[in-house]
């Protein structure tokens, strides 16, 4: 008798504590605050040994409950067992999956249970998330007119988005150029106005589609083809002879400036080291320029043409397709993306435009270099300097001395290598030096959109 009372007591204590046991751990990882046309639910559920007796996901709106997932068929697809403890569920949760979803408030409800006390009881947990359903695609209206794009060059578009919390920009083939609020370029008023510089890069096809694109926080997208005209440009081709005198000066200096490359400097290894620099290091440095572009300011620091370096003669044009020769053999081909301006040694190098210093120091093939940010994704690069006279984050005026000319990096002699970059991609600097181009392609459009002077 006493034994059975004790046994009942133990079962009773077990029953009560099992009722208090924690249910499975539920984390709704996606969506964020919005559901759109094609939103995906991303859910993680954790329970000891991965044992679940129930998992049901619904979207509730206006008194209706739409089933999204259940451990029981037919809604049990889209789940993966990630580890012994956790289960991931990926299910479409947008309007394309739930046809009766309407614009407005909704709630995601996740109910999970696991067996406790040998399956006699269930430990349950429920997690809900309030979301907003947005189904309309963003609207994009192009405001600026006459979009003329030179191959290898840049262009500006002014457009309006609605609603104004969308992210937007210009997509040119694989490249996307973000749009910035009109206020960043001095346009007052309308919160939906955006400005974006974009480019048709030297290596892109003339027929590359150019579209103004927008995406709202619910993932709804719009792409509007941009009415434009493209002008072909002939790019130069040249042959450059790499001699041993050049290699024996440049490679040891580059090995010292870039110790992490472990460049071989023995006389017989110089040609191979040159190829590593000309290919791998060039690619790596150009990637750095793209990363630096991510730090551009949402403010256009300038309102007039860029300033060319005084009395320098142009040695090489933009996008020069170069074949490199060594001992009479073709050893490499690269596109030279910038302007080489001949100068004598130690000439003061001035900022082409007002901007903030993003980089001042070694930049691989570019040697000692300065990168200035002019805002809205526009940057300028000054390479092969012997010294710099500015520091990162400093705001410099147009014409201010930023360093002295030299022949550091991959340079055959004293010259300034100058490039204008758009989101880290080299564009033809000649346009930016030209007051007429700045007026027609940039300032006219800002004026027509109501620029405050």
Q: Distance (Å, rounded) from C-alpha 81 to C-alpha 72?
A: 16
Q: How many residues does the chain have?
A: 453
What distance separates the 2 farthest-apart alpha carbons in the chain? 111
Nearer to Zn ion, 219 or 338 (CB): 338
Q: Distance (Å, rounded) from C-alpha 409 to C-alpha 368?
A: 7
Is the distance from CB of 181 to CB of 194 less than 8 angstroms? yes
Nearer to Zn ion, 320 or 431 (CB): 320
Q: How far is the CB of 131 from Zn ion (least distance, A)?
A: 53
Restricting to residues 399-418, name those near Zn ion by CB under 5 A. 417
CA atoms within 13 A on the CB side of 1: 0
Q: How far is the CB of 338 from Zn ion (least distance, A)?
A: 5
Count of residues of this chain found to bind Zn ion when the rule CB under 5 A is applied: 3
Q: How far is the CB of 415 from Zn ion (least distance, A)?
A: 7
Q: How far is the CB of 396 from Zn ion (least distance, A)?
A: 22
Q: How far is the CB of 380 from Zn ion (least distance, A)?
A: 14
Q: In a 3-state reduction of DSSP, which class is residue 411?
A: coil
Dihedrals phi, psi of 194, to nearest 5 degrees: -130, 150
The contact mask relative to Zn ion for 280-319 (x = CB under 5 A, - = no) is ----------------------------------------
DSSP run (H or E) holding 348: strand 348-350
Q: How far is the CB of 282 from Zn ion (least distance, A)?
A: 11
Restricting to residues 323-352, name those near Zn ion by CB under 5 A. 338, 340
Q: How far is the CB of 411 from Zn ion (least distance, A)?
A: 7
Nearer to Zn ion, 340 or 431 (CB): 340
Restricting to residues 242-261, name those near Zn ion by CB under 5 A. none
Nearer to Zn ion, 117 or 257 (CB): 257
Nearer to Zn ion, 87 or 316 (CB): 316
Q: Cβ-count burial of 260 within 10 angstroms (0-12 exposed, 13-18 middle, 19+ buried)?
A: exposed
320 lies in the binding site for Zn ion (CB under 5 A):
no
Is the distance from CB of 311 to CB of 352 less than 8 angstroms? no
Nearer to Zn ion, 9 or 236 (CB): 236
Q: Distance (Å, rounded) from C-alpha 41 to C-alpha 117?
A: 32
| Strands (DSSP E) found in 104-184 | 104-116, 121-133, 139-142, 148-150, 154-162, 167-172, 175-178, 180-181
Nearer to Zn ion, 55 or 402 (CB): 402
Nearer to Zn ion, 114 or 336 (CB): 336
Q: Distance (Å, rounded) from C-alpha 24 to C-alpha 113?
A: 6
Q: How far is the CB of 236 from Zn ion (least distance, A)?
A: 13
Nearer to Zn ion, 303 or 322 (CB): 322
Restricting to residues 76-105, name those near Zn ion by CB under 5 A. none
Is the distance from CB of 372 to CB of 396 less than 8 angstroms? yes
Q: Distance (Å, rounded) from C-alpha 128 to C-alpha 201?
A: 48
Alpha-helix runs per DSSP H in 313-428 = none
Percent helix / strand / coil, the chain, rounded to 5: 20, 40, 40
Q: How far is the CB of 320 from Zn ion (least distance, A)?
A: 9
Instruction: Give residue number: closest CB to Zn ion.
Output: 417
Binding positions for Zn ion, rule: CB under 5 A: 338, 340, 417
């Amino acid at each position: 008798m006493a034994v059975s009372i004790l046994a009942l007591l133990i079962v009773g204590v077990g029953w009560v504590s099992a009722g208090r046991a924690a249910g499975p751990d539920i984390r709704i990882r996606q969506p964020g605050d919005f559901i759109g046309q094609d939103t995906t639910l991303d859910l993680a559920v954790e329970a000891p040994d991965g044992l679940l007796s129930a998992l049901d996901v619904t979207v509730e709106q206006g008194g209706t409950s739409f089933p999204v997932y259940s451990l029981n068929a037919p809604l049990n697809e889209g789940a993966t067992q990630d580890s012994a403890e956790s289960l991931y569920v990926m299910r479409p949760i947008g309007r394309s999956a739930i046809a009766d979803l309407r614009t407005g408030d909704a709630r995601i409800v996740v109910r999970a249970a696991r067996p406790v006390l040998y399956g006699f009881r269930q430990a349950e947990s429920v997690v809900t998330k309030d979301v907003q359903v947005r189904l309309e695609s963003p609207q994009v209206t192009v405001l600026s007119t006459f979009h003329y794009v030179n191959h290898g060059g840049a262009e500006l578009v002014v457009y309006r988005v609605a609603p104004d919390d969308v992210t937007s920009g210009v997509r040119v083939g694989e490249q996307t150029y973000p749009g910035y609020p009109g206020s960043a370029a001095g346009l007052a008023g309308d919160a939906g106005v955006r400005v974006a510089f974009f480019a048709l890069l030297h290596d892109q096809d003339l027929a590359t589609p150019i579209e103004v694109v927008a995406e709202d926080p619910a993932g709804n997208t719009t792409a509007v083809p941009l009415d434009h005209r493209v002008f072909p440009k002939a790019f130069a081709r040249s042959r450059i002879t790499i001699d041993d005198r050049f290699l024996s000066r440049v490679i040891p200096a580059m090995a010292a400036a870039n110790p992490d490359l472990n460049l071989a400097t023995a006389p017989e290894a110089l040609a191979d080291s040159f190829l590593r620099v000309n290919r791998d290091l060039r690619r790596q440095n150009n990637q750095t320029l793209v990363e630096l572009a991510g730090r551009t300011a949402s403010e256009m620091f300038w309102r007039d043409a860029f300033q060319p370096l005084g009395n320098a003669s142009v040695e090489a044009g933009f996008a020069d397709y170069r074949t490199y020769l060594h001992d009479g053999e073709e050893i490499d081909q690269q596109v030279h993306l910038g302007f080489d301006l001949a100068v004598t040694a130690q000439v003061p190098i001035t900022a082409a435009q007002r901007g903030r210093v993003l980089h001042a120091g070694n930049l691989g093939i570019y040697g000692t270099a300065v990168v200035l940010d002019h805002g809205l994704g526009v940057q300028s690069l000054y390479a092969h300097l012997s010294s710099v006279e500015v520091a990162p984050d400093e705001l410099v005026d147009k014409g201010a001395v930023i360093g002295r000319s030299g022949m550091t990096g991959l340079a055959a002699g004293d010259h300034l290598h100058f490039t204008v970059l758009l989101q880290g991609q080299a564009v033809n600097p000649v346009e930016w030096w030209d007051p007429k181009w700045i007026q027609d392609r940039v300032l006219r459009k800002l004026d027509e959109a109501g620029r405050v002077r």
